[in-house]
A = this chain, B = another copy of it.
Amino acid sequence: MSLTFAAIHRRKLVLVLSIAKGSIPLYMQIKDLLIARVTGGEWAPGDVIPSEMQLARELNVSQGTVRKAITELVENNVLVRRQGKGTFVAIHDGDRALFHFFHIVNDSGTKILPGCKTLSCRRRRASRQETSKLNLSSGARVVCIERVRNLDNQPTIIETIILPTELFGKLGKLQAWDLPNTLYELYETHFGITIHRAEEQLRAVAATDHDASLLGLEAGTPLLEIERTALTLDGTPVELRISRCRTSNHYYQNTVL
């Protein structure tokens, strides 16, 4: 009896959720629905989401089905589970950003908190390359931040960060914004933008005179250039970041699974 009942509900749900495509598994539909609530801002980072049972009742599916959807989102770092407490929208604090997105470690293999000195922060038109990599219309404006990071008390990285003014308008208006060390946290708390994925392209380049003077070494010294495109959950590129690193005492660590 209860089985038949559940089966009927399931059919109804499929009809309601999708256009009865028939072949998309229930748990995936639930997953998409949850993603929509997160990206739509209904559930903000740090919020508790309804319990598995509540969601199951609301959506007329069983707890296990909701659970499977949530599990995948946990694996994608969208949600965080805490047994006995609830499930939360992942909050990407500085530590997590450092752990996840910062790959430079010193020769002993330990990750150190980089210091940071902002050199400039101004608005300008996006270059051709920038519009292409950030999916902007030609002539769009961007915020351009330049800063130097210290590692082990030595200037080691020159960072150039490009952000679309459209999304990060407030940032460019202040000439000398008090920029925090970990920007991704700021993006999330002040702009509602969460970085979920990044594509990095690494090259060896020769230090320019500019690089050389900032890092205190000779022009022509090999530097590791990291060009990163940071994306939101739905794949929209929202930040372009070029880092030029001195690798005499540090290296870029990558684990291939």
Contact = CB atoms under 8 A, between A and B. Distances in A.
Contacts of A224: 202-204, 224
Nearest to A77: B257
A256 interface: yes
Interface string A197-235: 111111111100000000000001111110010000000
Given A222-B222, A222-B223, A223-B222, A203 B251 contact: yes
A254 B254 contact: yes
A100 interface: yes
A42 B257 CA distance: 24
A59 B77 CA distance: 33
B206 A252 contact: no
Contact of A255 (B199, B204, B222, B223): B199
Q: Which of A101, A202, A224, A251 has the most CB of B within 10 A?
A: A202
Interface residues of A, number: 31
A197 B256 contact: yes
Given A220-B220, A223-B222, A224-B224, A256 B198 contact: yes
B206 A101 contact: no
A29 interface: no
A252 B198 contact: no
Interface of A: 76-77, 100-101, 103, 197-206, 220-225, 228, 245, 247, 251-257
